Chain A
């Protein structure tokens, strides 16, 4: 039973779906949009994303708008079963009825794809959906976003998006042993697909403190000269954000600036130091001769120490959050896998070194980069991290749909 929807509503739903990053989990690499099937590894087992195309048998074709709204609001499917919280209804509960209506209109007008989701691989008792009822009792607070009247309309718009549909905390907030976001540590940094989703509050490891202008430009175009290029799961997020209304991205930046809070004088000074250093010509390392130093000089510096500007040149590694972050996962991932170019678009690119470097060599490089480019203590467990990164990135890169438009510079599209 085909339904008709107002075209403006569908268009609004499209932008909301992009803000919600829905395609990222509900599409598999090489698969049809929103047809699901993406394996989401969790500490409890693997959960496959569902088909949210309007296919009657395998998608949401038989779902009424009320059923869709209930799923968003309460994490219950059409049959009344509890949904696993990998579907972030702990955030989506904040989405207004009007926005749910637009999302529904958008999804119900996508091409229907017949694609049954593979069975989840969870162990008992987690394979029993009633267990989720207990989880909800403990951790789930149903309710819509309540505006803060002491803040600006833009701040409130940003907060509504960040806490709701954009569900930033799903990756950037650490989870407890039962997989729920720790309310007391909101935005203190979490995990996704073996990437460290950095702390985006006062504990941010970014060498240069973020401000509204930098956040806006990073979220909108996928990179910022003082911070580098978005990659890993964040590349897909900014790819979506480059396609929505600019004012929504700005609202997110305004709200997040207040979440980061004003940087301490120490952080400001450190930021100015690394920026000054990045602009001055490179000083040869005193540790030259160490294996890591030589690998850096030969394999990395050709891009990362030239004046070629971002996003096509490499960021000066003194500005790299990956090297100042709490663990070496992101740096290991990027060294091994590089940055894949976006098909048919201008985009940043970095070759991966998985085929040319052994785990020992990557470890030596990471240890050197940490000591040269950050003011943080040496990482521990680097060898193990590299081993894990080599294994998991293979899986991530095969299943993740990847960004489908260029985060590099949307303004440059269609230019020679």
Chain B
């Protein structure tokens, strides 16, 4: 049994230490936002936040996570109370098929947590590891800028953004 801290809660996980975090999240904890894309750390669909940094969960085994805090998209906000990053992606209609979007949002969230006003160039460089075949790239860019603005003005509201810190 391993204790894994996800979205602020401790989970007792019965899995081999070399099990990828992605499988634990999806199969054991039933958090399905992070997606299986390539399984090789090459597409970004499985991205989650660990201790404030974007991490590819498909190539991150459980044994690397001792004492660390994992945040998934579910930990940022809900359908009823979406976090700024989620609201921004919806308002910009940044998803087409949506498969890559959870990963995109997580890396964008990690970026915005350390740089509240990134430039276009910084966003492009940051999201480089993410593949999107639909081609909503320009909307994704706009959504990240919008999220930055929303976060500025959302300081007073009570989103669950804090759990990703």
Task: List B residues 22-51 near A (Cβ within 8 Å).
Answer: 39-42, 50
- A351 touching B63 by the CB < 8 A rule? no
- A298 touching B128 by the CB < 8 A rule? no
Does A282 reach chain B (CB closer than 8 Å)?
no
Does A349 reach chain B (CB closer than 8 Å)?
yes
Query: Smallest Cβ distance from A75 to chain B, in angstroms?
Result: 36
What are 14 inter-chain pairs, A to B, with CB distance below 8 A?
A291-B63, A294-B17, A294-B63, A295-B61, A295-B64, A298-B19, A298-B20, A302-B39, A302-B59, A351-B59, A355-B50, A355-B55, A356-B56, A357-B64
A361 to B42, CA, bound (A): 22
Set B18, B55, B129: member contacting A298, Cβ < 8 A? B18
Given A298-B59, A299-B59, A356-B56: 5 more A-B contacts, CB < 8 Å: A295-B63, A299-B61, A302-B40, A356-B64, A361-B64
Residues of B within 8 A of A338 (CB): 41
- B61 touching A294 by the CB < 8 A rule? yes
- A340 touching B128 by the CB < 8 A rule? yes
Given contacts A298-B18, A340-B128, contact A356 B60 (CB under 8 A): yes
Residues of A within 8 A of B60 (CB): 299, 356
Residues of A within 8 A of B18 (CB): 294, 297-298
Max count, chain A CB within 10 A of own CB: residue among B18, B19, B50, B121? B18
Task: List A residues 116-175 near B (Cβ within 8 Å).
Answer: none
Does B102 reach chain A (CB closer than 8 Å)?
no
Does B53 reach chain A (CB closer than 8 Å)?
yes
Given contacts A355-B53, A356-B55, A356-B56, contact A349 B42 (CB under 8 A): yes
Query: Smallest Cβ distance from A307 to chain B, in angstroms?
Result: 14
Query: Smallest Cβ distance from B103 to chain A, in angstroms?
Result: 12
Which A positions have Cβ atoms within 8 angstroms of B? 30, 291, 294-295, 297-299, 302-303, 338, 340-341, 349-351, 353, 355-358, 361
Task: List B residues 59-84 near A (Cβ within 8 Å).
Answer: 59-64
Interface string of B88-107 (1 = CB under 8 A from A): 00000000000000000000
Residues of A within 8 A of B41 (CB): 338, 350-351
- B121 touching A30 by the CB < 8 A rule? yes
A356 to B49, CA, bound (A): 10
Does B54 reach chain A (CB closer than 8 Å)?
yes
- A298 touching B42 by the CB < 8 A rule? no
Q: Which B residue's beta carbon lies closest to that of A398?
A: B125
A349 to B39, CA, bound (A): 13
- A298 touching B53 by the CB < 8 A rule? no
Query: Smallest Cβ distance from B58 to chain A, in angstroms?
Result: 9
A340 to B126, CA, bound (A): 12
- B61 touching A298 by the CB < 8 A rule? yes
A357 to B65, CA, bound (A): 9
Query: Smallest Cβ distance from B92 to chain A, in angstroms?
Result: 24
A112 to B17, CA, bound (A): 57
Residues of B within 8 A of A353 (CB): 59
Residues of A within 8 A of B121 (CB): 30
Max count, chain A CB within 10 A of own CB: residue among B40, B54, B55, B56? B40
Set A291, A303, A361: member contacting B40, Cβ < 8 A? A303
Residues of A within 8 A of B129 (CB): 351
Residues of B within 8 A of A357 (CB): 64
Q: Which A residue's beta carbon lies closest to that of B39?
A: A302
Interface string of B124-142 (1 = CB under 8 A from A): 0000110000000000000
Q: Which B residue's beta carbon lies closest to that of A365?
A: B64
Query: Smallest Cβ distance from B75 to chain A, in angstroms?
Result: 17
Query: Smallest Cβ distance from B154 to chain A, in angstroms?
Result: 25
Residues of A within 8 A of B40 (CB): 302-303, 351
Q: Which B residue's beta carbon lies closest to that of A355?
A: B53
Given contacts A302-B39, A340-B128, A361-B64, contact A355 B59 (CB under 8 A): no
A157 to B50, CA, bound (A): 53
A361 to B62, CA, bound (A): 13
Residues of A within 8 A of B61 (CB): 294-295, 298-299
Query: Smallest Cβ distance from B44 to chain A, in angstroms?
Result: 9
A361 to B51, CA, bound (A): 16
Nearest 4 Cβ contacts at the A-B interface:
A298-B61, A351-B41, A298-B18, A355-B53
Residues of A within 8 A of B50 (CB): 355-356
Q: Which A residue's beta carbon lies closest to that of B59?
A: A299
Q: Which B residue's beta carbon lies closest to that of A351?
A: B41
